[in-house]
Amino acid sequence: MKITNEEHAQQIIEEWRGFSHDSQVRNIKEALEDQELSRMYYESKDNTRGVTRSDNIIALLQKRLTEIDAKR
């Protein structure tokens, strides 16, 4: 699923909370990979707003991944 902004990321993370831990981890890792690719694209285009948005989304996803790992 393509995450478009920070608000969307928070909505998706909340939706995923109802999934099993394994499903959440898989979805978050896929979303992280997608955002890292987006970030590289925005960097190549010197789009600082896009880079910042991707960084913020990555931070939200990593925070949730850390929370999941802490519960295991």
pLDDT in tens, 2-36: 999 999 999 999 999 999 999 999 999 999 999 99
Whether 24 maps to a domain, the answer reads: yes
pTM of the model: 0.94
Q: What is the residue-wise DSSP string for 40-67?
A: HHHHHTT-HHHHHHHHHHHHHHHHHHHH
Residues with Cβ within 8 Å of residue 27, at least 6 apart in sequence = 1, 16, 19
In a domain, 15, yes or no: yes
Q: Please report whether residue 17 resides in a domain.
A: yes
Using an 8 Å Cβ cutoff, are 36 and 58 in contact?
Answer: yes
- Position 61 in a domain: yes
pLDDT > 90 in the chain, percent: 96
Q: Which domain holds residue 40?
A: 6-71
72, pLDDT greater than 90: no
Does residue 31 lie in a domain region?
Answer: yes
For residue 1, tell me if it sits in a domain.
no
| Mean per-residue pLDDT, 42-48 | 98
pLDDT above 80: residue 1: no
How many structural domains does the chain have?
1
The secondary structure element, H or E, covering residue 69 is: helix 48-71
